[in-house]
Chain A
Amino acid sequence: MLLIGERINGMFKDIREAILNQNSEPVRHWANYQYKAGADYLDLSPGPAVEIEDQPQVMTWLVKTVQKAVPLPCCLDSTNPAAIQAGLSAHQGKAIINSTSADQKKMDILFPLALKYKAAIIGLTMNEKGVPQNAADRLTLAMELVVNADQHGLPTEDLYLDPVVLPCNVAQEQGKEVLETIRQIKILATPPPRIVIGLSNVSQNCPNRNLLNRTFLIMGLAAGLDAAIVDLTDENLLEAVAAARILLNQDIYCDSFLSVFKKRR
């Protein structure tokens, strides 16, 4: 599975301050940390504190700072297409755009952008009306995303569908719907679209966050999840992924499976 490191995000205080002060040190630190912990991609988000007109320049700075520090591709996380475009043009390798929703207007801007830069893109199963309350409605939007991506000529393997995970303390009934959506998406098309979730959202403002995250991730993997934006400081989470990969027959078993997974880079 693809592990996307969540830590370089303006929602975190140290990153927010780093961005505002143009101090690259915390960004480099978290790039290195997540790289060593086994991240495949690093999510980069300027966060809500950055003025909209500054976002393209901040995204460019984040991409350059991170890719100078570690040899990893990035997941460009912004609702502002100008920031995404700026990030894409500074980016080396295959980026992931995070994200479009199933709004026609957004899809018509972002799918061509993905195509132009040969990037992958995350499609959220939500639209201007908000997040659907059940699997069936999420699936309808997933289908819209798949069809639109196809019409724009985007290869299926470059589309990651995100069934939108909600915090379990306020939307408890949604966990099951997300898992059902994952199962259903996998039979939607051939080859099946890829699926990503923003994992930590499931435990927003809850105690025992790591336990909730870890349990939900493993349930997701069993349902067919391909990628997740995760907290790579959580070592138990990574160990659980190693075990899940064995139990789902994705890695060949050997007695040293845990150390092999950790040293896979």
Chain B
Amino acid sequence: MPVKIIRENWSGKVNTTSLGVEPKAIKIGGEGALPFLYFEGEIPYRPVVACEVWDEKPNDWPDLLTAPFAGVLGDPVAWAKKCLAYGADLICLRLAGAHPETKNKSPQECALVAQRVYAAINTPLIVVGCGEDAKDAAVLPAVAKALTGKYCLLGWATAENYQTITTACDIYGHSLIASSPLDISLAKQLNILITEMGFNPGSVIIDPLVGALGYGLEYAYSIMERIRLSALTGDKMLAMPIICFVGQETWKTKEATSTSLECPTWGEQARRAILWELLTAVTLTQAGGTIMVMRHPETVSHFLAHLLQGR
């Protein structure tokens, strides 16, 4: 008996966003089907991997995670180059040193770091602040200006600070990350508020705030799945590509940070932690994640191998 392949016909499509400058520009989004269902609709671009680079040496990363970056931590330019050598598609610069409770760096200092990193790599760049709404609203406009014409992706715009960040991204031609805490209604509302300011919906990327394996992954999955289904059924205010901060979530779990000595029954830490980051990323890609922000280079190579195998 011949098997009839049942195809879902979707009326909507995810927006296409372009980051960076030719010839190294990267395109994401554009999907007209659920992830990896190539027979059902157009999936023009694969998910991409961004590696995290900090402006400061991180003090809470386990040895397993700092080892691959020995000698470059604290030097964001060298660190970024190292990440590209490890296979990252783009770099995600985190301005951790801007946080008022750490170094409280000025917007100008931050902008200079971003500019130096971009100049050294000429690869599409994501820049995120320190996660403190008010400080990010002060820092990101300076970063946006310093990176004029480089079509970067800046974050995080939240319900508290989106106005300043949206204006800056609009003026200097960048895309922005709209972040809301694991709630599809809040995500949609924030996208509406941002686009009501006249900002191009095609330049908005959703950060739904994901959780790692064992820490709310299923919840993030179902929200991302609903976002994608809404996009495919024509909800334009949810038709944005999704960014997932996988590394940030994974590398604070005890499963990733506990050493083999501390938890001998859990198996060797290197294998365990990298699998933890990998499984989180792979799962969220299945849910519709497009930009995966990761930390360990080994996770990156496994993840890319997995993606390319899928084609």
Contacts and interface: CB of A to CB of B under 8 A. Distances in A.
Contact of B238 (A252, A255, A256): A252
A251 interface: yes
Majority SS at the chain B contact face: helix
Interface in A184-228: none
B237 interface: yes
B231 to A, nearest CB: 10
Nearest to A259: B192
Contact of A260 (B184, B186, B192, B226): B192
Contact of A255 (B184, B189, B235): B189
A256 B193 CA distance: 9
Interface in A209-265: 251-256, 259-260
A252 B185 CA distance: 6
A252 B230 CA distance: 8
B189 A256 contact: yes
A28 to B, nearest CB: 28
A27 B185 CA distance: 40
B234 to A, nearest CB: 9
B150 interface: no
Majority SS at the chain A contact face: loop
B94 interface: no
Interface in B222-266: 226, 230, 235, 237-238
A17 to B, nearest CB: 38
B230 A254 contact: no
Contacts of A251: 235
Nearest to B193: A256
B235 A252 contact: yes
A254 B192 contact: yes
B295 interface: no
B174 interface: no
Pick from B185, B226, B230 the residue with the most CB of A within 10 Å: B185
Nearest to B9: A157
A260 B188 CA distance: 10
A260 to B, nearest CB: 6
A252 B192 contact: no
B217 to A, nearest CB: 21
Contacts of A253: 185, 188
A254 B186 CA distance: 7
Nearest to B188: A254
A253 B184 CA distance: 8
B161 to A, nearest CB: 18
A251 B238 CA distance: 11
B278 to A, nearest CB: 30
Contacts of A260: 192, 237
A255 B237 CA distance: 12
Contacts of A255: 185, 189
Pick from B184, B186, B192, B238 the residue with the most CB of A within 10 Å: B192
A255 B180 CA distance: 14
A256 B235 CA distance: 13
Pick from A251, A254, A259, A260 the residue with the most CB of B within 10 Å: A254
A90 to B, nearest CB: 26
Closest 10 CB pairs of A and B: A254-B188, A254-B189, A253-B185, A256-B192, A254-B185, A255-B189, A252-B230, A252-B188, A252-B184, A252-B235
7 contacts: A252-B230, A252-B235, A252-B238, A254-B188, A255-B185, A256-B189, A260-B192
Interface of B: 184-186, 188-189, 192-193, 226, 230, 235, 237-238
Given A252-B188, A252-B238, 20 more contacts: A251-B235, A252-B184, A252-B185, A252-B226, A252-B230, A252-B235, A253-B185, A253-B188, A254-B185, A254-B186, A254-B188, A254-B189, A254-B192, A254-B237, A255-B185, A255-B189, A256-B189, A256-B192, A256-B193, A260-B192
